[in-house]
Amino acid sequence: MPALYQPTFVDAVLKETEFTKIRDLLYRIAGISMSPAKKPLVASRLAKRLRHYGLASYNEYLRMITAIDGKKELQVAVDLLTTNETHFFREPKHFDFLRQHILHSAKSGKVLRIWSAACSSGEEPYSIAMLLDELLGNAPWEIVASDLSSRVLEKARMGLYPIERIPEIPRHYLSNYCLKGTGSQTGTLLIERRLRERIQFMQHNLTESPPKIGQFDVIFLRNVLIYFNPDTKSKVVSRLLPLLNSGGHFFVGHSESLHGVTDELHAVQPAVYLKS
């Protein structure tokens, strides 16, 4: 008996008009400007959602996520389009500066507060936490870590990473703050609970006013400004600066600059700024 015909779902082609709508939607929500070169990335990241729902076009998916009851799937789409690659101890010179110029001069008894304002899946705040725990000992410190993506924040809170990330972490930090998975967790690396509990993770859209989370001595806003146009970049920085203490430091990625963005900060070394 011949087998029944099974239709095969063919991935939809992302039309230029559809890409423009998605790009405009992402800009309105997150302030992120996508160049035409990002069209293949948008198509590949959202194609799985079209397959999941059996949709024949990106326009159908757009109608779904912009409907009144589509907020949950809209968050999924934003998560997929804004997730960026990151590493432990990325841009090591920043951690050298933090060690040599900020932590060694931290005032005894004063709580040192650091905000990782685009923390992605958590590698940056955990790297900072390892350094703070090592150098400050029992002195008080706090780290707030935020990101637009709820999906990567869930991963960050777990503190569970592929074992391939081991080379990114200095050996003495591995032995002091990381656990190697065994049994069903073989092939993974887990950040120690004591360190995980020292970080407050929260969802925050940088294009919106920051929540009431207090003042900070250091703000890390690395490798995210490159996705904003000049106007949005200025607005994002201007929203964060009131939360940075006088004499506090502001870190951006080495491929980024605050030249022409604000006059409240002055550079002390590449990609590190001081608020006077």
By annotation, the residues acting in catalysis are 45, 147
∠229-234-235 over CA atoms, to 5°? 100
H or E stretch including 29?
helix 16-30
Provide the total of helices (H) and of strands (E) in the chain, helices listed first.
10, 10
In sequence order, which residues have a C-beta less than 8 Å from that of residue 190 and are 6 or more positions away? 159, 160, 161, 178, 179, 180, 181
Q: Which residue has the tokens 């799937």?
A: 73
DSSP secondary structure of 188-209: EEEE-HHHHTTEEEEE--TTSP
Cβ partners under 8 Å of residue 45, min gap 6: 80, 81
CA dist., res. 159 & res. 192, Å (int): 8
2: Cβ contacts below 8 Å, ≥ 6 apart: none
Beta-bridge mates of residue 228? 32
> Could you tell me where the beta strands, DSSP code E, fall in 28-175?
112-116, 141-147, 160-162
Tell me the angle at which helices 150-158 and 71-82 cross, rounded to the nearest 10 degrees.
70
